[in-house]
Every structure is written in structure tokens, then in C-alpha cells.
Structure 1
């Protein structure tokens, strides 16, 4: 049996159980005056909350921990541009440790949340070991997962657009379809390989389809001379009688006309009901032959959120009050995708957008500080969106800012300037700006990255069960 040394006092222990018991009693400073703040999720909401908490509690005795399954913060508004090869994936990904000035970061999956006992159980990826963490204050900022409405075929045969891995996978697949199409003279086969279908008429779907359309058509004109451009078929499926329900109808129609001018087919009042390797079936019975199906049809919550013992709203999101606290839980806050936040002024629910999550994170940090200072009056969340915008093609954008509709290259420029300013680090800003500048001069890269080997180390075996903090504190030595 391997021995374990204590680096603090040079004692030797025969098991991890003995070592942890020694460490918790001899070296771990357990003080009830040190409050533990636990943040679950490393998206816009979680990172904004973390940054503001670290500023407000710089001189306070608090222990801040942030948990995320990824070790980076992803700037999701630019995800479609990774698909089209405009931006390199690493340029919109910032390590979470960059934001941890005072906090501790743990890369792990959140397995369960016990609101009564104030415990969160996490699972490490490399050995599947479960650990239980205590908290005094909890912030829920966990993102959702793609909602396939319990249709396993759609889930199996489509790509999603939620993560950086999704974007890279879609890009590689598109290039692979171009390579295959370039090697066949069969009209029907080439048309099938070059049919790209995106489900979802919201911002994610529209931005994704426009980037794919530009990338495919430009790549064919530059590199794939054997492909007939007339065989390219780019289709957007919207379940509503319009696209972009987030904006007014007039501006949405402007976007629709532009997409159709660029060669994109928009199918309104249509839903995908089934799919296979080479087709997608619509609710009207139409069967579209395609080798590429991308799903952006909404999100739902993971079980750790949807099964939480509290009130829930649409799609399993947790209900919070105006201060962003979960009802009947004074020490638990929620924001972002997983929160069902009432907008009293409009008698509706706040949307789950990045700009809302950023403001919600600031309010939660302020309310945590108020709670620590034993003040009773927490701040209420209220936010009127400054605007909403999207890129819908090469040098073409749409935007509604302070009630004014803008389209064309001006909206495109505003989108770029605004989101470039919001990228977390100066270095990443420079890299994205360079990517954009190069695009004016050179065609997009069509390098196909093959399968990347990943070594799994789940086989690591630890014989002794390491007790949780609460178990360790209850031990008698």
C-alpha cells in the first residue's frame, strides 16, 4: 500500500482516509465566521457574479468557489462564426482561472443539490469520484441542454449549437461534405451532400444558417471547382409564421428578404418531426434529403435543476423572486438560463440572454453583500434591454437599439464593435480583431481536422473513500 506524506509536518499515513482526517484537524482552519459562497456554472451569469463578488468581498473573510464542467468561459454570441471558420475557437474561450483572483475553481460535473442540508455533490471527470461541498450561499447559473422534445431520432441525427465542441464538429462536418461532393458526379448524391438544414427560426438559427451559407458558397467558388453551385441547398426551418420572433415583424421581414436573396430557403410554419442519416421529415409530410441537420430549437433544463426541490417555471427553470432568490430560500440565488425571472412591469418573464445574465449577476453580487452586512432590504432586479441585434450575412446585420430599427452594414458594424468590447481579455479582443481583418484579405480555411485521440483515465482506482467535510468534522480522533 502506498504511503502518503503530509507536506506540512512530514508525518506519514498509510491511507488517504487517515491523511484527510489528520489534515482537517491539524491544518484546516474551520471557522464559522468564514462564509462559503458556491457558484455553479461558468457562463455569462456565473462569471459576472464571480467578478463582482470578488470586488465586493475583497477584504471580507469569505471562501468563494466556482464549479463548471468546462475549464473556460465561452463567448457564445460568436459561436456561429467558429462554424464558418471566421474565428478560431480558442479566441472566444477564456480560462475560468483567469477570473479567479480570490476564488477557487473546480472543473467537475454537478451531480446533485441538497437545499435542505446546504450541500452540493460534484463528480470529477477523470476518476468519477464524488465529492460533497458545503455552502452558506449558493448561486445557480447552470446552462440548459438542447430540447429535442423527447424525439430520439432528431437528437441522434442532428448537430446542436451549444458548445465549442458543437461548433468545431459542425465545421468539420461541412468541410467533409464538401470533400465528398467534390468527388462525385452523381447529381442526386451531390445535392444530398450539399443540403444543409438548420431547425429554429430564432437568433441562433438565423445566425448559424447565414454563416454556413456564406462559408459553403465562398469555399466552393475558391477551392471546389468540380462542385456545381446550383446543387447547394441551404434551408432554415421555423415553427412560427415568421423568423426572429425576438424583434418586430418589419425588421424580421427585412432579414427574411435578405436571407432569401442570398439563396437561403426559409420554411415557415414547419416543424421537424423525424430524422435519419440522410433526411429530415416535416410535420406536413415533406421529406427533405440532407446529410446535414443542425438543431437550434430551444433548450430545457438538466435534471439537477429540473428536479430541484423548489418551484419551477417553463422547461424546468427554477422560479425566483424580484431579488433573484429562490422562493423560501434566503441563501440561494439563480440567474441566466436556469432561472424563471418575473418582469413585473410587463407581467411576463425576462428572456435568457447574455445581456440579461450580466445584469442579473451584478444584482446577485450586490444582494450577497447586503446579506453579509445584515441589511434586510435586497435590491430588486429590473432591466430594460438596450437593444437586440444579429448578423445575418456577409456585412449585413439587423438591430433594434433604443426603439430604432437599423439594418445593413451599419447594424453589422455595431454588432462587431459591441461584442468585441465585451470579450473578457485584451489579448482575446486582439485575436478576434485579427481574425476579422484577415477575412477581408483571404478566403476561409477549409482544413479538415481529423479524429483527435483522447486518453481516458477512468481506470484510476482509489481504495479508500475520502469523507466529505461534514463527515470529517463529525469524526472523533
Structure 2
């Protein structure tokens, strides 16, 4: 049914998605469009943008969860922010259908220009049991849940009488050897190590961390030599690294197979299964009338206008993980498009905002061309790897790489206020150490109240003593 949402009655630039691209396009356009008599409207299911490179540190307890999300309304005071999900786009009619939270109604939003910036979602495969047992680390909610899961399982194991239950509770598996998987498993291993050190009923040698990667190497963003060093580093910390190995079944015990012959590898029980095996374009793109390429991303020109075999789609733009943007440096994916990462998304957003504004005045548009500056990764305090390409090539590992990781991302997170909060988190952790306190019952916050408010069973009164008959 239609919704009663009130929309600003002005020519609209509609931004589908409030992530890296959506936030920075809105920042670049909100004031200009408002001064010209229009409005920038950002639609996203969440009221905040998540700075995803910090999610492993949130899971590891080094950064407060709220500090890595950027509130859209506070950051975009001159824009219109709508919390909801775009479920269809009819560009021929210049309308988008938005499903609003908390009701079954939808809203039709008219627009002049649209920017598709819906980003990516976790890419999964039809592995039995994965949907029921697995968890990713792509949202702030998942990062919080992972931290609590690790802490809760260690506490459970400390009092478990059954050896099999104890072993399963202390086994943590991460599938995916890219940046997200490596940073997640190392931060959680650090968290578990510091937690076990404070619990006399669990020994460190009982804790098992396993990294599963289907390819023959990890972290394609760094050099082969650096990747080999990372594997050695992980194994030196007791983390099992299983290359050329894939998850075949997650029902009951985890079943691993060797690649590519699909022969059985290992089978063991694990209570924690973390999936970090890549991303795919947001399925929103399949509900639009825009041209797609084989990987399911929207086709664009280098100037970030959407274009297909029939030419340019007027007043339609896309960037980030959801778009197949040609990489003019020749250093991108094998199909010639930009690698889907935050570095490209941020810079594409700034070019897109300039080009959209320029198109209003028939000015020349700028092609997106950006040389990859490299990659940095943190593996817990004073540990990391970096591949820096600013002036020549600089390869770092250990403490210097960790400093580079924090320096880059500390500057890259949007807004000065968020930089300040994250900096204070790091400073407090430097002196006070990692926070190992679990937060219980986040999935059922009313549990204590319900228990208190529920009627209590009446305790039966003791049987009355027989009445004494007075003596005659």
C-alpha cells in the first residue's frame, strides 16, 4: 500500500545507498543542489554509513562500535535522508519505489538524476548449513556479534564438562583469505589470546583458529613475497592456514575438501564459522532498467555515467562496488574494470559529484583515473603488512605496517568528529589494553525484564499441624 511519507517538493537528485559513494556524492552536492532550488535525497536501509575497514578492530575490541559508523542525518544537514530500501527503479518514468521500515507500505520517489551507490553484499555459495551457521564481518552488527561470540564461547568452554563440546567451542574458522578474512582472524585471535590469559580454566593450546582459502595464496593485493610472510606470521601465532581448501558442508561438523580435485580434507566441529569469501553487487541492480555486465554490475563510462549498448542513459550515474567502472590505468580486474574497494569508491564519488554538477551546465566531464596507492592491513597491535605505491614501491611489515594501517584509515574515516572518537579509542587501548568485556543478551534485551515481570509459581504452604484437642 502507498505510504504517507512527506517528500520535499523540489527537483531531486536521488542517491540509492548511503555508503562510501552515497555519502561523499551527497557531501559534494547537497549545498550546490539546495542553492539551485533542488534537493539531494539519500535512501539507505541504515541511518548511517559504516567504515568497513575498522570492523575487524571493532570485533577485536580495540574500537567502540558506534565510532566507526557515520550518521547520515548529522553529516548531511542540507540533504533529505530516507531510511528504507529501494526495491525498484523505473528510470523511464524517473521514479524509484522505496520499502519503508516498520510497515508494509511503499513510497514512490520522483527524481531528475539518480546515482546508484548501493554497494555490495556478502557473496555466498549454496553450501549446506552455511546460511544457518555462518556469519560475515561486513556490518557493524556482525562485528559486535563476533566479538561477543568469541568471548562467550571461551567462557562456556571454561566450565564445559564434555570434551567434544569444549573443543567445538574453542574452534574458530574463517573462510576467505583476502584482507577482510586475514584482518578478522588476526584481531579475533588476539582477542581470544588476551581473554584466555585472564581465565585460569582454559589453556591457550586448546584454542584453535583455522583459516580456509580456496586459492593457492592469500591477500592478492600484496606481493607474493608479502603474502608468504603473512602465512608464516599466522602460523607463528598458532593459526592453521589451509590453502587450496574449500568448505563443502557446514551441517553438523565442518567438512573441508581439497581444491581442485574435491577430495576430502578435514572434518571437525566448530561453533564459530566466519564467512569472508568475497562480495557481489547489491541485488538492487536487478530491479532497475539499467544495463548490466556479466558480473551483475551496472555498466558505466569512465566519467561514471551509466551506458549500455544503446548509448548513454541520461541523468543516470553509478560508482563503487555496484558499478563496472573502466580502469584507465590498466591495473584493474582482468575485464578492465576497477577493483571493488573503498579506495576507488571514495575517489569515484568525488569525481561523480563534480561531473553530475557539471552536466547541469553542459560543461566537460572528467574521466575517473586513479592509480592504486597500495594496501595496508593490521593484524592486531604492532602487527601488519603494507604495500605502498605513492613514490615507487614500498613494502612494509610488522610495526611500521601497523602504523601505516592506522595512519591511513584514521585519516580516511569520514568527518573530523569520527576521527577524533576513533583516535581516543586507540589512545585508551594503548594504555588500558584491549576491552575483553562481553555484552550479553543483545539479541534478546528484554530477557531480564520478562523474567522479572512473569508470574512466579507459588510455593506450596507447609501442611498445617493437626489441631490439638484439649484434654478432658
TM-score of the superposed pair, with normalisation by structure 2: 0.86
- From 439, 443, 455, give the equivalent of 2:429: 439
**Pairwise CA distance, 1:454:** 7.5
1:201 aligns to what? 177
- Report whether the alignment pairs 1:319 with 2:319: no
After TM superposition, the structure 1 = structure 2 runs for residues 139-288 of structure 1, keeping only pairs within 5 Å, are 139-151=115-127, 153-222=129-198, 224-282=199-257, 283-285=262-264, 286-288=266-268
**Pairwise CA distance, 1:277:** 4.7
Unaligned runs of 5+ in 1: 1-15, 456-477
- From 95, 98, 104, give the equivalent of 1:122: 98
Q: Is the 8 A contact 2:88 2:287 kept in 1?
A: no
SS in 1 for 2:129: helix
| Higher relative contact order, chain-length normalized (CA < 8 Å, sep 6+) | 1
SS in 1 for 2:241: strand
SS in 1 for 2:397: strand
- From 350, 354, 360, give the equivalent of 1:372: 360
2: CA distance between counterparts of 1:278 and 1:171? Answer: 22
**Pairwise CA distance, 1:244:** 0.3
1:428 aligns to what? 418
- From 363, 377, 402, give the equivalent of 1:412: 402
**Pairwise CA distance, 1:437:** 2.1
1:329 aligns to what? 313
**Pairwise CA distance, 1:431:** 2.3
The alpha-carbon distance between structure 1 residues 382 and 93, as it changes in their structure 2 partners (threshold 3 A), is same
2:274 aligns to what? 294
**1:405-441 deviation digits (Å, cap 9, x = unpaired):** 1111111011111211222233322322222222233
1:390 aligns to what? 377
1: CA distance between counterparts of 2:438 and 2:444? Answer: 18
After TM superposition, the structure 1 = structure 2 runs for residues 55-66 of structure 1, keeping only pairs within 5 Å, are 55-57=31-33, 59-66=35-42
Give the greater-gyration-radius structure (CA): 2
**Pairwise CA distance, 1:338:** 0.6
1:82 aligns to what? 58
2: CA distance between counterparts of 1:48 and 1:274? Answer: 41
How many residue pairs end up in the alignment?
428
Unaligned runs of 5+ in 2: 447-472
1:303 aligns to what? 283
- Report whether the alignment pairs 1:343 with 2:334: no
**Pairwise CA distance, 1:280:** 4.2
SS in 2 for 1:73: strand
The alpha-carbon distance between structure 1 residues 345 and 426, as it changes in their structure 2 partners (threshold 3 A), is closer
1: CA distance between counterparts of 2:439 and 2:12? Answer: 46
The alpha-carbon distance between structure 1 residues 254 and 314, as it changes in their structure 2 partners (threshold 3 A), is farther
